[in-house]
Amino acid sequence: MKKILLPLVALAFATPVGAQSIIVVTGPQVESDTLPVAYAELKAGDNRGAVAKLTDETHVDARDPSRLINLGTAYARLGRTADAAAAYDAAIGSPIRYDLELSDGRYVDSRWAARTALANLNEGRPLLALAR
């Protein structure tokens, strides 16, 4: 198992930066056309608005990986790297886990997405975690 896992991890981090863009899909919301994880705000570059939306009262679980990854992205864009790292770490350790849709249509595990976002943050790579 270890012989297989290490090449897969290496391959995941060797993919082109553009291929690592993360779009988090939370699933359909009852009677709502908007997703509650600040995708529109992040896409528009309204990072303060994204932080406000993700930290205010919302029906999305505070431990939800999509919420945490997007919060981390908004913090990182605002230069709050310690807060961003804490949000990504929380997503990695969250008891909630599901597959997230990447911008190219592939699905990956939420913890993989959070680890990728944290690695990008730690290595000073462009921040690519967008969610909707």
pLDDT for the residue 100: 78
- Using alpha carbons, list the distances in angstroms from residue 101 to 19, 20, 49, 98, 121: 12, 11, 23, 10, 20
What pTM does this model have?
Answer: 0.73
For residue 42, the model assigns a pLDDT of: 84
Domains, the chain, in order of start with CATH, read 18-131 (1.25.40.10)
Q: What is the mean pLDDT of each run of 10 residues along the chain (132 residues)?
A: 43 39 46 67 90 88 91 92 96 92 72 92 75 52
